[in-house]
Structure 1
Amino acid sequence: MTDALIIILSTLGAIFILLAAVGFLRMPDTYLRISVTTKAVTLGVGLILVSAAIYFDELSVTSRVLAIILFIILTAPVGAHLIGRASYFLGVKMWDKSVMDELEGKYKKFSHKLDSGDDLKDEEETEEEKEKG
């Protein structure tokens, strides 16, 4: 019974990682690639680690596996967010068929702080006046 469970979990994990690789190749822009790889690889690696914990069936291995899974779940989305944010601030173009850029006009150009967008216009005008004068 445990052998079948190990085979199922590791196969599902490998399939998710394969789908992430295919998605990385097929997605048209950086932001979609980040989204695909973060979600699918995190799930795939988690499933493979769970199958390893079941296979070895020792407390020390299981605790290490749980620590690694927790670390991956906490760090992968944060890393993807930072890469996406840096890409946006560096001016990496979105896909031509993207419907909406929700960050457009909502961050300060020099400090990269996010705002509601209403008070940004006043501050940008003040910065432009300082540069001119």
Structure 2
Amino acid sequence: MIEFIKGVFILSGALFMLLAALGILRLPDLLTRMHATTKAAALGVILIMLAVALHFGEVDVVARALAIIVFILMTAPVAAHVIGRAGYFVGSKLWSGTVKDELRPNYDPLTHELKSGMETEANARREPKESDPS
């Protein structure tokens, strides 16, 4: 039974990694490619590490496999965020089918600063100040 579970984990992990590789080749822009590689490749590595932990069953190997899983879970989202943000800042073209760009009204391309959503909403609700009566 354990052999079957290990086989399922390895095949599933390999398929998710293949899916990530196909996503890099087939998807139209940086942000969608980044999404495919982050999600599918991370899940593929996690499944393969689970198979490794089951196969060897030794405490030190299991601990290393679990450490790798935790490392992937902690670093993949951060790396994807940094890559996506850098791509947006350098002007990477969005796919023509992109429906909504929520950063555009909050991003200043000259200073590369983002305004928070709360800041923008507060500015939209604020009424114009009246000038001092003379």
TM-score strictly above 0.5: yes
Paired residues in the alignment total 120
CA RMSD of superposed structures (Å): 1.5
Contact 1:108/1:115, CA 8 A, preserved across alignment? no
The residue that corresponds to 2:87 in the other structure is 87
Structure 2 residue 113 is the aligned partner of structure 1 residue 112: yes
Counterpart code for 1:113: L
| Alpha-carbon distance, 1:73 to partner | 0.5
| Alpha-carbon distance, 1:105 to partner | 1.4
Pairing 1:36-75 to 2, within 5 Å after superposition: 36-75=36-75
CA distances 1:42-75 after superposition (whole Å, capped 9, x unpaired) = 0000000000000001111101111110000100
> Could you tell me how far apart the structure 2 residues matched to 1:98 and 1:5 are?
40
> Could you tell me how far apart the structure 1 residues matched to 2:40 and 2:70 are?
16
Q: Tell me the TM-score normalised to structure 1 length.
A: 0.85
> Could you tell me how far apart the structure 2 residues matched to 1:69 and 1:32 are?
23
Q: Which of 1 and 2 has greater Rg? A: 2
Runs of at least 5 residues in structure 2 that lack an aligned partner in the other structure:
125-134
| Alpha-carbon distance, 1:96 to partner | 0.8
CA distances 1:7-42 after superposition (whole Å, capped 9, x unpaired) = 111000000000111111110000000001100000
